[in-house]
């Protein structure tokens, strides 16, 4: 028994386990880039997803069944999510800094031009524009989901969440097709590395955000949320809006302005 509103987290193995797995994933990714061996990288990715699900399961138990997410804890978790999103913004800021540094002053190795000599960039009015429309539409549908949840309209919340999840999956499929049809690769000068690193990390964030929304939809279907208490869903929506905004800057700068 406790006589305070705070939640002292129980000992958990997942932070240490996922840290080791991510370290191995980094090394196996380097092996994939150099030797084209993808088996171990895929295995570690599956392990990361599995640990994520187990970790979310424990947090779900703490909030739904143990009642540890009091109003005081909710406020602190919201601050934590805001700080996490701020760190992610700075993470992408470093990639944009690199892009503008090389595009505004291309050196002789790049042919004194941007895109570099012999690099054929993507048409921003094709798949990139389609992906932009998809993400903006998903931002509308996820806002619809949040409003429906606040109004205690479970049917509308489910429909809008399903629409958002489908559009997130569609975005990832189009990005995969774009990568397969790309006329350049990650080793084609600083343009290729900047393009694939920036868009690739954003694509990973879209996949994580889609999983976040799927998890929220599953909990909502099991009646874990109410119009007064739906912190997990609210944070998933925050994260999805962050992904939307980053893509807008990415599309305008890399696809359109940097063409």
Fold of 70-257: 1.20.120
Q: pLDDT tens for residues 186-199?
A: 888 888 888 999 99
Look at residue 119 and tell me whether its pLDDT is greater than 90. no
Predicted local distance difference test score (pLDDT) of residue 228: 83
In whole angstroms, give the CA distance from residue 178 to residue 98. Answer: 22
For residue 155, give Cα distances in angstroms to 9, 152, 162, 164: 34, 9, 11, 15
In whole angstroms, give the CA distance from residue 240 to residue 209. Answer: 6
Across the range 24-29, mean pLDDT stands at 91
The least confident of 20-29, 30-39, 112-121, 234-243 is 112-121
Across the range 70-85, mean pLDDT stands at 90
- Percent pLDDT > 90 in the chain is 51
The least confident of 19-23, 88-92, 105-109 is 105-109
Q: Indicate the domain borders of the chain.
A: 1-68, 70-257
Domains 1-68 and 70-257 in one fold? no
Q: Is the domain defined by 1-68 classed in CATH 1.10.287.70?
A: yes
The pair of structure tokens assigned to 151 is: 């109004």
pTM of the model: 0.85
Predicted local distance difference test score (pLDDT) of residue 247: 95
Across the range 81-95, mean pLDDT stands at 94
The pair of structure tokens assigned to 85 is: 């999103």
Across the range 110-128, mean pLDDT stands at 83
Look at residue 111 and tell me whether its pLDDT is greater than 80. no
With cut-offs at 50, 70 and 90, classify the pLDDT of residue 87: very high
The answer to whether the Cα torsion of 196, 198, 204, 206 is positive or negative is negative
| φ, ψ for residue 8, nearest 5 deg | -90, 115
Look at residue 107 and tell me whether its pLDDT is greater than 80. no
For residue 118, give Cα distances in angstroms to 99, 110, 122, 180: 18, 9, 13, 19
Predicted local distance difference test score (pLDDT) of residue 2: 64
Predicted local distance difference test score (pLDDT) of residue 1: 61
Predicted local distance difference test score (pLDDT) of residue 35: 85
């Amino acid at each position: 028994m406790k006589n305070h509103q705070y939640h002292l987290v129980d000992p958990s193995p997942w932070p240490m386990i996922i840290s080791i797995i991510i370290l191995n994933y980094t090394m196996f990714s380097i092996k994939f880039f150099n030797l084209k061996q993808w088996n171990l990288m895929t295995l570690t990715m599956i392990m990361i997803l599995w640990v994520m699900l187990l970790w979310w399961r424990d947090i779900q138990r703490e909030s739904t069944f143990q009642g540890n997410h009091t109003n005081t804890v909710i406020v602190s978790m919201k601050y934590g999510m805001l700080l996490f999103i701020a760190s992610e913004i700075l993470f992408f800021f470093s990639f944009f800094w690199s892009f503008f540094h090389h595009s505004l002053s291309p050196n002789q190795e790049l042919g004194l031009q941007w895109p570099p000599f012999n690099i054929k960039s993507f048409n921003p009015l094709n798949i990139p524009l389609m992906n932009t429309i998809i993400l903006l539409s998903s931002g509308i549908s996820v806002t619809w989901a949040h409003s429906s949840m606040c109004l205690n309209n479970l049917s509308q919340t489910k429909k809008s969440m399903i629409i958002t999840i489908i559009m997130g999956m569609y975005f990832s499929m189009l990005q995969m097709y774009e990568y397969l049809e790309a006329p350049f690769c990650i080793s084609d000068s600083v343009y290729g590395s900047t393009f694939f690193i920036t868009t690739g990390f954003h694509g990973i964030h879209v996949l994580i955000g889609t999983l976040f929304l799927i998890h929220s939809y599953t909990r909502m279907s099991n009646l874990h949320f109410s119009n007064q208490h739906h912190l997990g869903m609210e944070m998933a929506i925050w994260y999805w809006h962050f992904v939307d905004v980053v893509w807008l800057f990415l599309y305008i700068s890399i696809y359109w302005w940097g063409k």
